[in-house]
Amino acid sequence: MEHESWAPPEVDVERANVARIYDALLGGSHNFAVDRDVASALTAIEPSSREAARANRQFLGRAVRFLVKSGIRQFLDIGSGVPTLGNVHEIAQSAAPDARVVYVDTDPVAIAHSKSILAGNDQATIVQADLREPDVILSHPDVNRLIDFDRPVGLLLVAVLHFITEEEHPGDLVRRLADALPPGSHLVISHATLDGRAPQVNEAIEKLYSRTSAPGRPRDHASVKAFFDGFEILEPGLVYLPQWRPEEGDLKFERPEQAWGYAGVGLKT
């Protein structure tokens, strides 16, 4: 399989990547045939998959707008993925021109495309790092150039924690990041769940994702809620994606669990 002209040479085009699968589900163009094949297979298993991806993206937009209204002016978006419609810096800086945004991801395509769209934006950058190494993120010079950890931060962990296995201790990773944040900071999480889906559907999805760059670990409501330890979960609580402060024009679901993900925002007091 040949590389696309925009793809960094180190990209493995033979193995599906979760960031690019998400891009494919959203209708983006920075993905390969192997990623589109998984996206199509996922949609065949769970027909609401493309809508679920859009619901997650819409939640991200609502959460960023809420944080800006709450006075947050600096954002650390870990697992940011391939840039697409409604990026954090676009939403935040359109409402607050002084907002600063640091994206963090591991995928070379996400890094390359982010660098391209952020060229000339002195208040936003992309860092190549892994959620599994929070100290690397927190000590990175580009992170510390834009993020003042003495002032409230919006920590965005959107659709990323479900790619961290229990053996990798996701709760400890979140706590390490949270410990670096001052009071007044906000934690934004969305997370895939198996709740509300038939066991055979869950098994088929898990088998499909086992072929990708990150097999994934969907979690139940109690497990996702535990990530907010030390934060006050703000209204409406930890709910299905389309239930978190919906806005006019957002996708409507016959049943909110069809978005197969939980969403919540917590305040550090």
Contacts 24+ apart (CB under 8 A), 119-122: 121/89
Band of residue 1 on the pLDDT scale cut at 50, 70, 90: very low
CATH of domain 18-268: 3.40.50.150
Confidence (pTM): 0.94
- Tell me the pLDDT of the chain averaged across its residues: 94
Cα distance between residue 17 and residue 209, in whole Å: 10
pLDDT at 18 over 50: yes
**258: phi then psi, degrees, rounded to nearest 5:** -65, -15
pLDDT for res 3: 47
CB 75 within 8 A of CB 92: yes
DSSP-assigned beta bridge partners for residue 152: none
CA 78 to chain centre: 7
Q: pLDDT, tens digit, for every residue of 68-92? A: 999 999 999 999 998 887 899 999 9
CB 73 within 8 A of CB 98: yes
Cα distance between residue 9 and residue 67, in whole Å: 37
CB 163 within 8 A of CB 18: yes
Element (H, E) at 155: strand 154-158
CA nearest 95: which of 131, 58, 69, 132? 69
Q: What is the torsion angle, in degrees rounded to the nearest 10, for the CA atoms of residue 174, residue 176, residue 177 and residue 182?
A: 120
Mean pLDDT, rounded, for 250-256? 93
- Write down the residue that tokens 């400890």 correspond to: 172
Report the DSSP pairing between strands 100-105 and 74-78: parallel
Cα distance between residue 109 and residue 83, in whole Å: 10
Band of residue 16 on the pLDDT scale cut at 50, 70, 90: very high
Q: pLDDT, tens digit, for every residue of 209-231? A: 988 988 888 999 999 999 999 99
pLDDT for res 80: 95
CA nearest 100: which of 84, 89, 90? 89
pLDDT at 242 over 80: yes
CA nearest 177: which of 231, 232, 222? 231
More confident of the two residues 158 and 260: 158
